[in-house]
Amino acid sequence: MSDKSAGTLAGDTPASSTIAMPKRPAGTLYRGNEGMWSWVMHRITGVAIYFFLLVHILDTALVRVSPEAYNAVINQYKTPLMGLGEIALVAAIGLHALNGLRIILIDFWSVGTKHQKLMFYIVLGLWAVLMIGFVPRQLMHIFGGGE
């Protein structure tokens, strides 16, 4: 038994044929917990919101160029595709805002760091409630056809 404990020495058939090895020599993804994923999510939504605001300021500024151009752009926002985009926007802002409150509590509440995981799930819960309230109404707007 223990004779074999040296494992497969060079020369024996390598066991690698059955094991799925990582394709690239790059390292594996770091397996962080709630804290790391909330940060990733915060960063992604933050950058996405920044680019939305950039476009939003430009389209609003169009009204000073010509009201017709402004109307043409705003009418584009009423298409179903943009309606779905608005759902993504509300989802991103909701997550970013609620997680932002969580980060403020981590920094300024003396026991904030102890309860960060719980607070993350509270953020997700509040966000889900927010979306349940908003998404059906928005879908009715987009696909309901009515005013």
Partner 1 sequence: MESKPSIPEEIPTFTATLIIRRFDPEVDDEPRWQDFDVEMHGTDRVLDALHKIKWEQDGSLTFRRSCAHGVCGSDAMRINGRNRLACKTLIKDLDISKPIYIEAIKGLPLEKDLVVDMEPFFDSFKSVNPFLMAGGLPQGGKERKQSPVERARFDDTTKCILCAACTSSCPVFWTDGQYFGPAAIVNAHRFIFDSRDENAQVRLDILNDKEGVWRCRTTFNCTDACPRGIQVTQAIAEVKQAILRGKP
The footprint of partner 1 (CB under 8 A) covers: 1-2, 4-10, 14-16, 19, 21-22, 25, 27-36, 38-39, 103, 106-108, 112-114, 116
Could you tell me the smallest distance in angstroms from the CB atom of residue 20 to partner 1?
9
**Alpha-carbon separation of residue 102 from 49, 121, 129, 141 (angstroms):** 18, 10, 17, 32
DSSP per position, 11-72: TBPPGGGGS---SSSSPPPP---HHHHHHHHHHHHHHHHHHHHHHHHHHHHHHHH-HHHHHH
Which CB sits closer to partner 1, 28 or 68? 28
Could you tell me the smallest distance in angstroms from the CB atom of residue 141 to partner 1?
37
Which CB sits closer to partner 1, 77 or 109? 109
Which CB sits closer to partner 1, 81 or 110? 110
CA–CA dist 87, 114 (Å, integer): 33
Could you tell me the smallest distance in angstroms from the CB atom of residue 109 to partner 1?
9
Could you tell me the smallest distance in angstroms from the CB atom of residue 51 to partner 1?
20
Could you tell me the smallest distance in angstroms from the CB atom of residue 97 to partner 1?
17
User: How many other C-beta atoms are found inside a 10 Å radius of the C-beta of residue 120?
Assistant: 19
Which CB sits closer to partner 1, 30 or 143? 30
CA–CA dist 100, 94 (Å, integer): 10
Which CB sits closer to partner 1, 19 or 57? 19
Backbone conformation region of residue 12, classed left if phi is above 0, alpha if psi is from -120 to 50, else beta: beta
